[in-house]
Amino acid sequence: MVLEKREFFGTQQYFQNETDKRRADLRRHERELAEVDKDDHAVRVRQLRKSVIHGLQLTVCSYSAGECLADVDAEYLKILDAAESLIATPTYYPFDLSEREYYFYVIALIALGRLLDAPTARIASLQDLGRSNQDDFLMSYLVDDAQPLENLPQALLHEEPFGALRRLILVSDFNERMDAVFAYLEGFRAFMDEMPWAESHLALDGRFFGYWAFELGALAKLLPVPDAFFEHQMYYPRDLVPSVPIFEPPEPLEATYGQDFEITLPEGFPGTTPPA
């Protein structure tokens, strides 16, 4: 089957090669883990932490490469297995969510679970992968969007760029929600520039596995948010989000966004195509 990559950056060949390499490396890592003495908890914890992070990177890379969603889901379920084994291991120590890289991993895992319709209880267990000195609004909402908003912690571990997603959840006005979406998409790239693999999409050096705002996709699905105005944005995983019925937008939309709903973004903002 010929794949067509989803990721804006990189080449088809890069992602096919990188997905094959990462999958082979992870399967070899799993075989090595199976040989570790079950009582050697320290080694098991180190290996399982790698399994979770490398598994997420493989899952995202396979999505970027254009693999079918069933294959992406299969890789995701293996991450859940590794995460649950990690949490159950004596001497387990969680990821420090005050570090933005680890927060990214955990929030992406939870958001992907919602997008792939993973079992709710298994998604909730992912919160135990991380530790922090306070609860996080976005993480709590993504795990359980049915709870009353007033019961959610109001703090965010990382206000930038995730404050825009808190605003997306809390407001109901269509225009305000669109403002929050585009504020987040602008801040998302700045956030990704802080990751260890920042700019690796230019070198294609084997560290790059894709830039995807899975947490925005999860919120578009859960709230739900009509995404016709941002579904073609390069970071938005549109084929993971069920279509929200098109509705007649409120009267102020044209006045806010201009004729034909042309959205004005900061100069140089990449990847946004207004709907046809």
Rounded Cα distance, 27 and 86, in Å? 17
37-64 average pLDDT score: 94
Q: Quick one: how far is CA 274 from the chain centroid?
A: 23
Q: Could you read off the pLDDT of 214-246 as tens digits, one per residue?
A: 999 999 999 999 998 899 999 999 999 987 765
Q: pLDDT above 70 covers what percent of the chain?
A: 88
Q: Could you read off the pLDDT of 70-112 as tens digits, one per residue?
A: 999 999 999 999 999 999 999 999 999 999 999 999 999 999 9
What dihedral do alpha carbons 149, 160, 199, 98 form, nearest 10°?
-80
110-128 average pLDDT score: 95
13-31 average pLDDT score: 92
The whole model's pTM is what?
0.86
Task: Tell me the pLDDT of the chain averaged across its residues.
Answer: 88
Give the pLDDT of residue 177: 95
Give the pLDDT of residue 245: 62
| pLDDT confidence tier of residue 131, bands split at 50, 70 and 90 | confident
Rounded Cα distance, 113 and 106, in Å? 11
Segments making up each domain of the chain, as ranges: 12-243+251-261
Q: Residue 168 — left, alpha, or beta (φ > 0 → left; ψ -120 to 50 → alpha)?
A: alpha
Question: 51-64: buried (b, 16+ CB within 10 Å) or exposed (e) per residue?
Answer: bbbbbbbbbbbbbb
Higher-confidence position of 256 and 66: 66
Give the pLDDT of residue 22: 94
Q: Which of 107-116, 143-152, 185-194 has the highest mean pLDDT?
A: 107-116
**Could you tell me which CATH number the domain at 12-243+251-261 has?**
1.10.3920.10
Is pLDDT of 249 > 70?
Answer: no
**Strand ranges for the chain from DSSP E:** 95-96, 130-131
Give the pLDDT of residue 272: 47
Instruction: Report helix angle 41-65 to 69-88, nearest 10.
Output: 160
| pLDDT confidence tier of residue 201, bands split at 50, 70 and 90 | confident
Query: What sign has the CA pseudo-torsion 99, 159, 231, 143?
Result: positive
Structure tokens at 190: 């700045």
